């Protein structure tokens, strides 16, 4: 089975690539940083194929998929994991460039890869799209503005794909993690502010990338008649806030 994992250079994508290769799958790992992918290839051997691309660069993505060696081209599982949050400012102070980058990566990039690979999956009569959404797509929080909205897109897109694929054997799953540490997610969100990153994870028993990789593997390894629609997963340490009430008096 061939699995394409986007955002494979670090974080969930690297953990997922390792776990799937260990289970005997062949993994194409895509990301922008070739040196990280090459290091993973050196570690994982011939069942890992590094693929340097930026998911938001549509011509590059199309050409990279078309140029895959024949023995790697029939992708069975697409793990749409590449994504990012930029900033935690309220909407009226956020950078519009950051908003565009999130939309182009988390929404357009994910939709484009899906659009390119889905027809072949339908034609071959097998395939699984695993999207990496977030609890931010369900629960709003201050500063989540466009990031949360991109993940709400991912959730609804996943469910709508299921509706369109009725009558085919294809599967679609949305993985919706809460707080996960040991990745670059917060370093990217806080633009290299390591003190802020450390504070964010201080005294919290957060999830780790292997927890997410295991959830993805769980969804993929179900019997063929089972579709896991969504997996929402949080650390025990994380739960729901009360609604904010603004009191004027």
Footprint of ligand NDP on this chain (CB under 6 A)? 6-13, 31-33, 36, 54-56, 81-84, 105, 132, 134, 177, 179-180, 183-185, 188
Q: Which is nearer to ligand 8X3, 48 or 153 (CB)?
A: 153
Query: Which partner from the list ligand NDP, ligand 8X3, none does 50 bind, CB cut-off 5 to 8 Å by kind?
Result: none
Q: Closest approach of Cβ 154 to ligand NDP, in Å? A: 8
User: Which long-range contacts link 87-90 to residues 24+ away (Cβ below 8 Å)?
Assistant: 87/143, 87/189, 87/191, 88/142, 88/143, 88/144, 88/189, 88/190, 89/143, 90/142, 90/143, 90/145
**How many alpha carbons fall within 13 Å on the CB side of residue 46?**
1
Q: Which is nearer to ligand NDP, 7 or 127 (CB)?
A: 7
Contact indicator for 3, 77 with CB cutoff of 8 Å: yes
Distance CA 110, CA 145 (A): 19
Query: Which partner from the list ligand NDP, ligand 8X3, none does 183 bind, CB cut-off 5 to 8 Å by kind?
Result: ligand NDP
Query: Which partner from the list ligand NDP, ligand 8X3, none does 61 bind, CB cut-off 5 to 8 Å by kind?
Result: none
Q: Which residue is nearest to ligand 8X3 (CB)?
A: 134
Q: Closest approach of Cβ 135 to ligand NDP, in Å? A: 7
Q: Closest approach of Cβ 19 to ligand NDP, in Å? A: 13
Distance CA 20, CA 5 (A): 10
| Percent helix, percent strand, percent coil in the chain, to nearest 5 | 45, 15, 35
Q: Which is nearer to ligand 8X3, 34 or 179 (CB)?
A: 179
Query: Which partner from the list ligand NDP, ligand 8X3, none does 32 bind, CB cut-off 5 to 8 Å by kind?
Result: ligand NDP
Q: Which is nearer to ligand NDP, 51 or 170 (CB)?
A: 51
Contact indicator for 178, 201 with CB cutoff of 8 Å: no
Q: Which is nearer to ligand NDP, 114 or 183 (CB)?
A: 183
Closest CA to 118 of 176, 55, 66, 161: 161
CB within 8 Å of 233: residues ≥ 6 apart: 175, 176, 177, 178, 207, 211, 212, 215
Q: Closest approach of Cβ 116 to ligand 8X3, in Å? A: 25
Q: Is 224 helix (H, G, I), strand (E, B) or coil?
A: coil
Query: Which partner from the list ligand 8X3, ligand NDP, none does 137 bind, CB cut-off 5 to 8 Å by kind?
Result: none
Q: Closest approach of Cβ 100 to ligand 8X3, in Å? A: 18
The residues carrying an active-site annotation are 147
Footprint of ligand 8X3 on this chain (CB under 6 A)? 134-136, 144, 178-179
Residue 3 burial by Cβ neighbours in a 10 Å radius (0-12, 13-18, 19+) = buried
């Amino acid at each position: 089975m061939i699995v394409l994992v986007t955002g494979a250079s670090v974080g969930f994508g690297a953990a997922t690539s390792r776990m799937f290769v260990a289970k005997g799958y062949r993994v194409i790992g895509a990301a922008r940083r070739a040196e990280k992918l090459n290091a993973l290839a050196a570690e994982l051997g011939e069942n890992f194929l590094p693929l340097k691309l930026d998911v938001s660069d549509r011509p590059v993505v199309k050409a990279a998929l078309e140029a895959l060696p024949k023995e790697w081209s029939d992708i069975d599982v697409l793990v749409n994991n590449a994504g990012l949050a930029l900033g935690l400012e309220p909407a009226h102070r956020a950078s519009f460039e950051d908003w565009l980058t999130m939309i182009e990566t988390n929404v357009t990039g994910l939709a484009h890869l899906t659009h390119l690979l889905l027809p072949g999956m339908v034609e071959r009569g097998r395939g699984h799209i695993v999207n990496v959404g977030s609890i931010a797509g369900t629960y709003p929080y201050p500063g989540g503005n466009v990031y949360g909205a991109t993940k709400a897109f991912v959730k609804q897109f996943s469910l709508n794909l299921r509706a369109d694929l009725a009558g085919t054997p294809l599967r679609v799953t949305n993985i919706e993690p809460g707080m996960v540490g040991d990745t670059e997610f917060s370093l990217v969100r806080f633009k290299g502010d390591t003190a802020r990153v450390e504070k964010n994870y201080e005294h919290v028993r957060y999830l780790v990338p292997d927890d997410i990789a295991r959830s993805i593997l769980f969804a993929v390894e179900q019997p063929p008649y089972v579709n896991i629609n969504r997996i929402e997963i949080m650390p025990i340490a994380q739960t729901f806030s009360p609604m904010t009430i603004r009191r004027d008096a």
